[in-house]
Amino acid sequence: MFAGKEYKTGQITNEILRLPLTVIMPLFYAGNDLNNLYNALCEHYYSESIYTAIREKLKEILELIKNEKPFCYFNITAEKTLIEEVLGDEALKGYSVSFGSLDEPLLACVPQDSNLQKYMTVLCAIVEAYIFLCADTYNFFSVACMYFANLTDMGCRDKTFFASFTEQYFGNEEMVKFIEENNPVEITHAFTLEPQVWMAPVIRRDEKGLPMLGRRTHFNRMLNFYVTDMFEGLAVGHYSWQCGICHKFFFMTTAHQQLYCSCVNSDYGVPCSHVAKNKLNMPKQKKEDGRGYDTWKHRDDSIRSKLSQARNNKPNAKYDVETCLKAKELINRYFEQAQIDFDYAENGYEQDMILENVFAEAKRLLGK
């Protein structure tokens, strides 16, 4: 759960895998530049140009990720405000007064328990976090793409075989060496764009809106979060596949041979599954692999039951045959719209598919 909204296990992995190289590569290079600037900050005397360069590089990274999933879930506005607080023009004036006359690297001589030390602590934590964000995203993307490419080639659907393959893959000495070389073990603060309290309880709401305790897992860097999300998603049966249209990897929620992802294809403006449906000579995807199918199936079963009651003149029949048929027509229409309209699938579909709403709309359209 983030900012009051729940996300499915494996969703973050799915979204990282779908990041375009036009984001992944600039993010990697920006993180490398930021790391070099941070080393200069730690090793050199005070230089306003270094602080200014760090500020601009952080802003560059935020501009790069602000509209990209999963990073757009973060509070980007609050992060910009924090960066301005510790690296804005007013803050730099204060640093100039405090550090300008020092004759040794500045971070080595910050007075203990001072406001300056607090500022430096926050500043360093921010910079370290962004360095790890850039490096971890690139490294995870690289390893996960290789891993999923192998899974897809082997068509893994048996859980025992799947687990054995994964054990061998990540137990391979060359793979372990690659991961270790690209992910040195360093400690940094948990990456987050909103304040967190480590020991605070996680309070969720159930279907009735009642509070309930949720799981809490703490990560000391983004890579640990990515890896946990990936393997928890795989553990609950979110199998991996490569879309036959856009050729990007994605997680399926069932063991069906889902052929296409349900993400919007930038070349066509509709999900890849809909592109395939309207292309000649393309294998067609099963309806049960469509976006929102489970909701559609539950509503269809309920409407069928009510239609049977109406046709057999049962005393408990709540709706007549005409209304039930119109309701069935509506849920089919909503389901089809969810396959081609990403925003509707995310924000309007579930509300429209509430059974009471479906029948209310059916009666309105029939003038009843």
CA dihedral 169, 173, 175, 177 (to 10 degrees): 160
Closest CA to 289 of 251, 343, 249, 327: 251
According to the model, what pLDDT value does residue 189 have? 40
Q: What is the mean pLDDT, run by run of 10 residues, along the chain of 368 residues?
A: 61 85 92 90 76 92 90 86 86 75 57 66 85 89 83 66 77 76 51 45 72 70 81 73 79 62 74 73 66 88 92 89 93 82 77 93 91
Can you give the pTM of this predicted structure?
A: 0.65
- How many CA atoms are closer than 13 Å to the CA of 252, on its beta-carbon side? 24
d(CA 286, CA 223): 35
8 A C-beta contact, residue 51 and residue 38: no
What b-and-e string marks burial along 125-151, b requiring 16 or more CB atoms within 10 Å of the CB? ebbbbbbbbbbbbbbbbebbbebbeeb
- How many CA atoms are closer than 13 Å to the CA of 71, on its beta-carbon side? 23
According to the model, what pLDDT value does residue 264 have? 74
Query: Residue written as tokens 């929620």?
Result: 253
According to the model, what pLDDT value does residue 190 have? 38
Containing 109, the helix (H) or strand (E) segment is none
According to the model, what pLDDT value does residue 351 have? 92
d(CA 123, CA 148): 37
According to the model, what pLDDT value does residue 1 have? 45
According to the model, what pLDDT value does residue 358 have? 94
Task: Give the long-range contacts of residues 104-113, CB within 8 A, separation 24 or more.
Answer: 104/45, 105/42, 105/43, 105/44, 105/45, 106/41, 106/44, 106/45, 106/46, 107/41, 107/42
Structure tokens at 140: 């995870």
According to the model, what pLDDT value does residue 192 have? 39
Containing 342, the helix (H) or strand (E) segment is helix 342-347
Q: Please, what sign has the CA dihedral across residues 96, 45, 80, 186?
A: negative
Structure tokens at 146: 């290789």
